[in-house]
Amino acid sequence: MYEELIPKIEIGNLLVDLINYLVDNYSWFFDGLSEIIKQIVVLFNDGLLIIPPLLFVAIIALIVWKVVNLKTVPFTIVFLLAIISMGLWEISMNTLALIITSTLIALIFGIPLGIMKARSKKVELLLNPLLDFMQTLPSLAYLIPAVLFFGTGVAPGVLSTVIFAMPPTIRLTALGIEQVSDQLVEVGESFGATSWQILTKIELPTAMPSILMGINQTILLSFSMVVISGFIGSGGLGDSIISGIQRYSLAPALEAGIAVTFLAVIFDRITRNLVKNS
């Protein structure tokens, strides 16, 4: 009854037609972007694999000691050695390469957008509904446009991860800058500081704890989305988890899931304590 009163709008078909139009007319852009992302991931992956596993463990343990505390070091070493013993070191480094690439892209775009959001009401009005949409859309739904634009593989996995993980960086950067005391800004202006100097010398340093918390949340969301992007063959531990579930080979899937958890816990502790120490 209600279907007869309300005209049917095939939104899905309209969106697919729009995406097909963009792909047909701007394939050079999407192909170039895909290749750039692949090369960045390969660069980070090769760089991580150059480091001997035990040396990498020692470096991370030292970072944890300096940033977190000495009590957390044994757990860090055990977690990383467990990844090595499960034979998942190389694929874990591939996952870290995906995480690093996704996080860097999210920060490169997210922090400036957060600054613009804090400083401009028009930008805030534009970004708020977009951020709400990005944070409420089911994670699997991010894969659909990524596959339509870029096919399967590393590039759509990274880009879907970037979109999924970027909102906390934007929101917390904006929040940090908005909470900067007006008196501090007025002092800078009274000494003749330019808008750029106020941003770099007053607002960003004061907002750094909030920005670092945004980075922490972006990293954790990247870990979760990289696993989901295993559905489209992005590589890393996500592929092992998804393929293990699909073939009902649960032991490898569980081991890969444990490895992801260990890495996420380590990097969460490091970035979370950077916030406390800032």
Q: What is the pLDDT of residue 82?
A: 94
Query: Which of 37-51, 176-190, 241-255 is modeled with the greatest confidence?
Result: 37-51
Q: What is the pLDDT of residue 74?
A: 93
Instruction: Report which of 97, 29, 116 is spatially closest to residue 263, judged by C-alpha positions.
Output: 97
Residue 133 lies in a domain: yes
pLDDT exceeds cutoff 60 at 133: yes
pLDDT exceeds cutoff 70 at 151: yes
Q: What is the pLDDT of residue 4?
A: 61
Instruction: Report which of 54, 168, 178, 187 is spatially closest to residue 116, judged by C-alpha positions.
Output: 178
Count of structural domains, the chain: 1
pLDDT band for position 243 (50/70/90)? confident
- CATH classification of the domain holding 152: 1.10.3720.10
pLDDT band for position 278 (50/70/90)? low
pLDDT exceeds cutoff 90 at 107: yes
Better-scored residue on pLDDT, 107 or 251: 107
Q: Give how far Cα 222 sits from Cα of 76, 172, 232, 241, Å.
A: 20, 16, 15, 16
Arithmetic mean of pLDDT, 82-93: 93
Residue 127 lies in a domain: yes
Distance CA 120, CA 252 (A): 49
Percent of the chain whose pLDDT exceeds 70? 96
**Distance, CA of 244 to chain centre:** 24
How does DSSP classify residue 7?
P
Query: Which of 146-150, 166-170, 273-277 is modeled with the greatest confidence?
Result: 166-170
| Residue 77: Cβ within 10 Å count | 15
Residue 209 lies in a domain: yes
pLDDT exceeds cutoff 90 at 275: no
Q: What is the pLDDT of residue 187?
A: 81
Q: What is the pLDDT of residue 242?
A: 83
Distance CA 51, CA 70 (A): 23
Arithmetic mean of pLDDT, 184-202: 82
Cβ-based neighbours of 129, under 8 Å, separated by 6 or more: none
**Average pLDDT of the chain, as a whole number:** 87
Contact 57, 80 (CB under 8 A): yes
Identify the domain containing residue 197 by its residue range.
16-277
pLDDT exceeds cutoff 80 at 104: yes
Structure tokens at 230: 């295993």
Instruction: Report which of 271, 176, 162, 270 is spatially closest to residue 222, judged by C-alpha positions.
Output: 162
pLDDT exceeds cutoff 80 at 10: no
Residue 2 lies in a domain: no
Residue 7 lies in a domain: no
